[in-house]
Amino acid sequence: MNVGITATFTVVGLLALLLIGIPIAYVLGLTGIFGLFTATGGTNAWLSLTSGATMHLSSSSLLAIPLFMLMSAYITESGMGPKLLDFTDKWFSRLPGSLYNAALAACGAFSTLSGSSVATAGAIGGVVLPEFKRRGLNMRRGMGAVAAGGTLGVLIPPSTAFIVYGELTETSVARLFMAGVVPGILILAVFIVYTMVVSAAEERKTEPSEAAPDISWAARWAALRQIWSAIVLMIAVLGGIFIGLVTPTEAAALGALAAMLIGVYVLKGLSWMDVHRAAVRSIYSITMIGTILLGGLILGRAITMLGISQELVDLIQGTGQPGWMVIIWIMLLLLFLGMLMDGAAITVITVPLLYPVITSYGYDPVWFAVIFVVNMEIGLITPPVGMNLFIVKAISGEPMGEVIKGTLPYVLLMMIVLIMLIVFPQISLWLPNLLLPTYAS
């Protein structure tokens, strides 16, 4: 069968299976197997499958994903979230919109411990959303802050999204982690400044429903001492990667062990039964992501063997469009897909196709990874399938419409930052070029 016709059947089959509601992992695997059998004539399909797609699953880089997820499970169960929120609430107490910004800052800090947006939104939202109600604060804005702050879990390292991207493109995961730090801080800072400005304007118009508590410096330092174990864990995991002492996989193993010991012996929020329960629960998440990744790797192998990537590169370059216009079209595509699909599925479907395109135009794959992940962040808070929207709705009990309205300002802010990251690549590349200059493009 002609390769172009086969590619068309593969894409059409993928869309058809998705539309009839078959789980995404099976859709990816089935269409990939069809493509492999067609590309090889059926004779070497099994060899192509085992020597290509499934061999990726034995990669040591991918081992970091279950280990970081295990670390996240232990951190979430240990009660670290409330301590981080108590710390940020006390230190932001004199600023406008103190509790909103405390929630955002706590989400940013928790992201460095979990690597998961859903875990971040759940852990911080479960504590702060009832407090918004108790204090009579703007619930819509509070839900938006938690949902948007939770998205930082896929950008601020450790990030499973960067690990998958690195495996699919053979890009340094350590370099990807470093590239996510400054953009993550920038997004968090933009969120906090926006919330302070809006809250200050609101406070000038209305009387506060409850007087702001006068927090002493002694109480602030006491709150800081309560999270010393979290600070140590952050430094141990990320610092080890950044200075080159450990690989991301080794850091994940170290983090999982340290998180368990901290939860059991320091925070005393974990019993050994909780340790077992958290490990079992993380296995469910790992299995789901692993199945999607396997299906995506099979499809990616088929795409490579069918030559679809090269045909796409030739097609786009044949249009004569400049590189910046191609990036705009890619961003629009990712924003659209983010409204309909899970970020992991989007990654394994699109990266094998888009990576050759962006490298053919001379763009840095690390920079592209950052703007790609920011798009995935936006997808987490855009309907109809934004996972953080459902997490916040479940915790707050508010109508989905109210949750969506609360997140809209943050979606716009993230789009503005996305444009900044596209126009000024050095925002993403400065830190990895500084710490790992030998890998610089």
The residue that leads in pLDDT, 128 or 290, is 128
**DSSP secondary structure letters along 92-115:** TTTSTTHHHHHHHHHHHHHHHHH-
Would you place residue 441 in the very low, low, confident or very high pLDDT band (cuts 50, 70, 90)? very low
- Among the listed residues 304, 323, 411, the one whose alpha carbon sits nearest the alpha carbon of residue 367: 323
Q: How many domains, the chain?
A: 1
Residue 3 pLDDT greater than 90, yes or no = no
Q: Report how far residue 151's alpha carbon sits from residue 121's, in angstroms, rounded to the nearest whole number.
A: 8
DSSP-assigned letter for residue 238: I
Cβ-contact 120, 149 below 8 angstroms: yes
Q: Report how far residue 147's alpha carbon sits from residue 176's, in angstroms, rounded to the nearest whole number.
A: 24
Q: What is the pLDDT of residues 126-167, one digit of tens each?
A: 888 988 888 888 899 999 999 999 898 889 888 888 988 998
DSSP-assigned letter for residue 341: S
Catalogue the long-range contacts made by 131-135 (C-beta closer than 8 Å, 24 or more residues apart): 131/99, 132/99, 135/99, 135/209, 135/210
Element (H, E) at 19: helix 3-19
Q: What is the pLDDT of residues 374-427, one digit of tens each?
A: 999 998 898 877 888 988 998 888 898 999 999 999 999 999 999 999 999 999
Q: What is the pLDDT of residues 6-53, one digit of tens each?
A: 556 666 777 777 677 777 778 877 777 777 777 666 555 555 555 555
Domain that holds residue 367: 3-439
pLDDT score at 336: 86
Q: Report how far residue 308's alpha carbon sits from residue 320's, in angstroms, rounded to the nearest whole number.
A: 19
Q: Report how far residue 245's alpha carbon sits from residue 223's, in angstroms, rounded to the nearest whole number.
A: 30
pTM (two decimals):
0.84
Cβ-contact 62, 163 below 8 angstroms: yes
Tokens of 144: 């938006």
